[in-house]
Amino acid sequence: MTSEETRIGRRGGGRAARKAARLAPEVEVDPCTPGQRGGAYRPLSDAKLNTICNEAFRVLEEIGMSEVPPMVQEMALAGGARLNDLGRLCYPRSMVEDIIAGAATSLIYYGRDPRHDFEVGGDKVYFGTGGAAVQTLDRKSGLYRPSTLADLYDFTRLVDTLPNVSWFTRCCVATDIPDNFDLDINTAYALLAGTTKPVGTSFTLPEYVAPVIEMFDLALGGEGRFRERPFCKAHISPVISPLRYGEDAVGVALECIRLGVPINNIVAAMSGATAPATPAGFLVQSTAETLAALVMVNLFAPGYPMIFSNWPLVIDLRTGAFCGGGGEISIMNAASGQISNHLGLPSGVASSMSDAKAVDAQMGMEKGISALAAGLGGANMIYESSGMMASLLGASFEAFVADDEMLSHVHRAIRGIEVNEETLGFETIREAVTGEGHFLGAAQTMDAMQRDYFYPALADRNEPRTWEEAGATDLWTRARTRADEILASHYPDYIEPEVDKIIRERFNILLPRGCMRSGGS
């Protein structure tokens, strides 16, 4: 040990620290709850932000949209839009600005259990899932296989126990259900059965929305109950890059509006393919496209609850494959959140997924960087942020558990540093320095210990020998054990038996009751 190492002695005061631990208050304080306020990271300067927004307005005004469903075109022309020489539907800036001014600036995302409610808007940051893997990382083989309805139910009840997944959009597709209507119904059923958090799903066709809401109303105890506290959002992409509407998705959106289903309006352009490869140009087009979706929704229902989900996606230009990890997608999604917040709209981005297949260092690195960038940037809803692997092709139980712990660190970082007389603690410094020469027993230390520090459960902080004696495990192994424990025990009872009977009589529910209790799945 030479000069500086002596200052980094591993156990600065082990015994005194353990004594401090015993003396610490027993009340559990979560030092890093979801909903911390972001924005300390500003990937775009004010000048860049204004330039990109101005260019987005210009794209809508001069280039405009194609493949506009007749109903939308009629409403838009009546609302101030015009057709350009190429017959594309163009929105004058003043019209778009008026729409923004009348749009929802925030919304409550309801849980079936009100303790899971949260407000989306401002600069508060929440992490949750998006759609939708077609494969599951098998916990036994460590390899991928097609995902099933049973997987979806298992993911749902796992997430029900993870505090940093603030909502659950069905993370995988039940590929064992061939019929699209059955798929949409059973996906919604799995969400109902496994969690009372806010949830999200998608609808293959407009006519599938009403039956799903009927099932939700049954679960809530009567017709119209869903509309009072809509706990499920629809993920819809009514705009397809570059700059055209998608008729089916517009139809789903209009049906959701009719039935009171809040909308997560996703634009998911791909750099260099369906949008510019330059990050600035990409953000211009993608912002314009998300505004085109906002205009569409607000023409039919001014102020309708809608997440402004501008999700920049990156493809590896060597192969054309989508890739979710890396520096580019991290800054582009952070910047997207900044732009949406600047426009005063509830922002959604996609970050903290991984291209890795294994639950390994690549996964941790890719998720850590992209989650922190989006979170510090202040995006309100960070989708795809838990459990997603293999460039969104796969979902992993172990990754869900590992990500949940990572997101505590991220929330802690977003929370930042409180500066006030108590935390500055000038007199505490004076007393420690002129007294015992350390801070281990100080009242300030006791107070800070739980309020300011997160203590991970899965991460290994032991010294090498202790780690080796305990089996030299990696995080994948420890996360698997934890996921196994949760899945073996957490079978929530969120649908009452008599209601379940009614739902099963009315709909073709393919999840056997036997899967829904201990020893079943």
Question: According to CB under 8 A, which residues from 316 to 345 bind a copy of itself?
Answer: 316-323, 325-328, 330-332, 335
Q: Is 131 in the site for a copy of itself (CB under 8 A)?
A: yes
Whether 96 and 295 have beta carbons less than 8 Å apart is answered as: yes
Q: Can you tell me which of 104, 107, 373, 379 binds a copy of itself, judged by CB under 8 A? A: 373
Kind of pairing between the strands at 388-389 and 394-396: antiparallel
Q: What contacts 320, CB < 8 A, 6 or more positions away?
A: 273
3-state DSSP call for residue 35?
coil
Q: Can you tell me which of 360, 485, 493, 496 binds a copy of itself, judged by CB under 8 A? A: 360
Instruction: Scan residues 225-254 and list those touching a copy of itself (CB under 8 A).
Output: 235-237, 240-243, 248-249, 252
Q: Can you tell me which of 33, 35, 40, 108 binds a copy of itself, judged by CB under 8 A? A: 40
Q: Is 71 in the site for a copy of itself (CB under 8 A)?
A: no
Segment contacting a copy of itself by CB under 8 A, of 106-114, 153-161, 417-425, 503-511: 417-425
Separation of first and last alpha carbons in the chain: 54
For the chain, the maximum distance between any two Cα atoms, rounded to a whole number of angstroms, is 81
CA 305 remoteness from chain centre: 17
Segment contacting a copy of itself by CB under 8 A, of 297-305, 416-424, 492-500, 509-517: 416-424
Half-sphere exposure of 129 (CA within 13 A, CB side): 40
Closer residue to a copy of itself (CB): 148 or 491: 148
Q: Can you tell me which of 80, 211, 344, 364 binds a copy of itself, judged by CB under 8 A? A: 364
Segment contacting a copy of itself by CB under 8 A, of 12-20, 96-104, 158-166, 495-503: 12-20
Instruction: Scan residues 162-221 and list those touching a copy of itself (CB under 8 A).
Output: 173, 180, 183-184, 202-204
Closer residue to a copy of itself (CB): 462 or 508: 462
Instruction: Scan residues 89-128 and list those touching a copy of itself (CB under 8 A).
Output: none
* 244-272: b (≥16 Cβ within 10 Å) or e: bbbeebbbbbbbbbebebbbbbbbbbbbe
Q: Is 404 in the site for a copy of itself (CB under 8 A)?
A: no
| Alpha-carbon gap, residue 452 to 304, rounded angstroms | 38
Rounded to a whole number of angstroms, the CA Rg of the chain reads: 25
Residue 438 burial (10 A CB sphere; 0-12, 13-18, 19+): middle
Q: Is 362 in the site for a copy of itself (CB under 8 A)?
A: yes
Q: Can you tell me which of 227, 258, 412, 504 binds a copy of itself, judged by CB under 8 A? A: 412
| Alpha-carbon gap, residue 275 to 259, rounded angstroms | 33
Q: Is 155 in the site for a copy of itself (CB under 8 A)?
A: no
Half-sphere exposure of 274 (CA within 13 A, CB side): 18
| Alpha-carbon gap, residue 63 to 84, rounded angstroms | 8
| Alpha-carbon gap, residue 392 to 323, rounded angstroms | 9
Instruction: Scan residues 486-515 and list those touching a copy of itself (CB under 8 A).
Output: none
3-state DSSP call for residue 303?
coil
Instruction: Scan residues 288-307 and list those touching a copy of itself (CB under 8 A).
Output: none
Segment contacting a copy of itself by CB under 8 A, of 141-149, 212-220, 497-505, 506-514: 141-149
Closer residue to a copy of itself (CB): 20 or 499: 20
Per rule CB under 8 A, count of chain residues that contact a copy of itself: 179
Q: Which residues pair with 308 in a beta bridge?
A: 265, 347
3-state DSSP call for residue 389?
strand
User: Between 259 and 288, how does the x/- string for binding to a copy of itself read (CB under 8 A)?
Assistant: -------xxx-x-xxxxxxxxxx-xxx---
Instruction: Scan residues 431-490 and list those touching a copy of itself (CB under 8 A).
Output: 432-434, 437-440, 442, 444-445, 448-449, 452-456, 458-465, 467-468, 472-476, 479
